[in-house]
Amino acid sequence: MHAERGTPVSEENKGILDGFKQFLMRGNVVDLAVAVVIGAAFTNIVNAVVKGIINPVVGAFGTQNLDHYTFCLGTCTKNKAGEVTEGIYILWGSVISATITFLITAAVVYFLMILPMNRYKARQAAKAPVEATPTEVTEIELLTEIRDALVARQGGSDWQGPGPSGPGTGRVPTQK
């Protein structure tokens, strides 16, 4: 038992477990889990496209494995096993390969998922009833309302407009 609250530990743990269960059952958590699983499966497809199509096309101009494209800083030497013993190799081919993989993934996600979803949402929005949006009141309409309210307050429905206007009169000329 907690001395401060007076609730048994088992009831507190039950509350924590219920809260955790509610957290896991939220729609966005489940959606995120599904997205991660689909993304992992999709990564295999993209990697196969890069290895099966992109790398052979690049291989027509050089080596099929982009990881073999390197740049050496300083004097580089390798031992018989192919390990670098001296110098610093910059593996720019790996960066190119990862960039190509990213661009293919982004393009497929956009064209196969985002674009159709946006079109679907636009069609649904077009089908939805149009809500009456209040139009913005112009400055002239607002001033007209103020003038009419002042006239009504003065009780002069036969009011023809201000008298002489000018500095010191407090009156503004109106257009008829």
Computed over every residue of the chain, the mean pLDDT equals 76
Whether the CB-CB separation of 64 and 58 falls below 8 Å is answered with yes
The pTM of the whole model exceeds 0.95: no
* Per-residue model confidence as pLDDT tens for the chain (176 residues): 444 555 555 666 678 888 888 777 776 777 788 888 888 888 888 788 877 887 788 778 776 677 778 888 878 887 888 777 787 888 888 888 888 878 887 887 788 888 988 999 999 888 887 776 667 878 898 899 999 999 998 876 555 555 554 444 455 555 54
In 55-137, where does DSSP find H-type helix?
55-59, 92-109, 115-127
What fold characterizes domain 9-126?
Answer: 1.10.1200
Whether the CB-CB separation of 161 and 150 falls below 8 Å is answered with no
The dihedral built from the CA positions of residue 49, 52, 54 and 55, taken in this order, carries a sign that is positive
How far is 167 from 65, CA to CA, in rounded Å? 86
How far is 171 from 30, CA to CA, in rounded Å? 67
Encode pLDDT of 72-112 as tens digits. Answer: 887 888 788 877 778 788 888 888 888 887 888 788 778 88
pLDDT of amino acid 119: 93
Domain regions of the chain by residue span? 9-126
